[in-house]
């Protein structure tokens, strides 16, 4: 297969498996999505969705959020981890949104990245999912699969994002980045990976990755 044929195979397979791509994080507007994405760093969507209803019941907008102290925010979000940094970021970005943007989340990647605790990936998710502006946020699943599928060198997430944007049509970015995440969780995880169920990697995967998988399987059999 040529690289373009591989890309088409990925797109076709993902569309069959995931024709609908609901946003994994519960939210009702750009602000609540921004907070939810920020909270999801080094946590799970499931855990964030357990915490945010309580947080948003108290404060679902910048004006109400700044009425809380950093410590009060931290107490609510503690279960998602990294709570001191995240609480400080949530309070700080809420202040800036009120001061600079009339309490609205800006639909601008660079402006988002200037907010406290908001990195490139978080900003890209908000651009994609809140404003439907083509973006390709790369998380650990996408980074892993782009390497497994031999569509990127896996050198770093910056290179992976660059390769993904070059290979996949721009009008698909917002949908396919979620599809890849869903596929990675279900069929191609970092741990407990079963290549026989991972049709994409088995069909187009990097030879060294596939060889290493089978070698590891042989070692496990010998141990038994």
Tokens 């990127």 -> residue: 152
Instruction: Report how far residue 87's alpha carbon sits from residue 170's, in angstroms, rounded to the nearest whole number.
Output: 34
Pairs from 93-100 (Cβ < 8 Å, separation ≥ 24): 93/34, 93/38, 93/62, 93/117, 93/118, 94/62, 94/65, 94/66, 95/62, 95/66, 97/31, 97/62, 98/62, 98/63, 98/66
pLDDT at 170: 98
This prediction has a pTM of: 0.92
Q: Is-contact 36 48, C-beta < 8 A?
A: yes
pLDDT at 137: 96
What letter would DSSP give residue 64? H
Of residues 26, 45, 108, 139, which has the active-site annotation?
139
The yes-or-no answer on residue 121 being catalytic is: yes
Q: Which domains does the chain have, with CATH numbers?
A: 3-19+137-223 (1.10.1670.10), 30-129 (1.10.340.30)
Of residues 121, 163, 175, 198, which has the active-site annotation?
121
pLDDT at 154: 84
User: Where on the phi/psi map is residue 193: left (φ > 0), alpha (ψ -120 to 50), or beta?
Assistant: beta
pLDDT at 223: 80
The yes-or-no answer on residue 28 being catalytic is: no
CA distances from 215 to 159, 194, 203, 209, 223 (A): 28, 13, 18, 10, 13
Instruction: To the nearest 10°, report the CA torsion of 159, 145, 43, 68.
Output: 50
pLDDT digits (tens), the chain, 224 positions = 999 999 999 999 999 999 999 999 999 999 999 999 999 999 999 999 999 999 999 999 999 999 999 999 999 999 999 999 999 999 999 999 999 999 999 999 999 999 999 999 999 999 999 999 999 999 999 999 999 999 999 889 999 999 999 999 999 999 999 999 999 999 999 999 999 999 999 999 999 999 999 999 998 888 86
* 30-39 vs 83-101: helix crossing angle, rounded to 10: 160
Residues in the chain: 224
């Amino acid at each position: 297969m040529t690289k373009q044929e591989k890309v088409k195979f990925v797109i076709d397979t993902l569309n069959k498996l995931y024709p609908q791509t609901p946003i994994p994080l519960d939210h009702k507007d750009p602000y609540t999505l921004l907070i939810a994405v920020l909270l999801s760093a080094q946590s799970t969507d499931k855990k964030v969705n357990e915490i945010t209803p309580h947080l948003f019941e108290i404060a679902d907008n910048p004006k109400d959020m700044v009425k809380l102290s950093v410590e009060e925010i931290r107490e609510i979000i503690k279960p998602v981890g990294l709570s001191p940094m995240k609480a400080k970021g949530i309070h700080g970005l809420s202040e800036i949104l009120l001061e600079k943007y009339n309490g609205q989340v800006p639909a601008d990647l660079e402006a988002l990245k200037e907010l406290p605790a908001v990195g490139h990936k978080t900003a890209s998710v908000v651009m994609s999912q809140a404003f439907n502006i083509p973006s390709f946020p790369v998380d650990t699943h996408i980074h892993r699969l782009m390497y497994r599928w031999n569509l990127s060198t896996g050198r770093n997430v910056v290179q992976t994002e660059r390769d993904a944007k070059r290979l996949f049509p721009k009008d698909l970015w917002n949908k396919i980045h979620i599809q890849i995440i869903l596929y990675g969780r279900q069929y191609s995880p970092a741990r407990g990976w079963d290549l026989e169920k991972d049709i994409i990697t088995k069909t187009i995967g990097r030879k060294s990755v596939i060889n290493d998988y089978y070698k590891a399987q042989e070692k496990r059999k010998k141990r038994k």
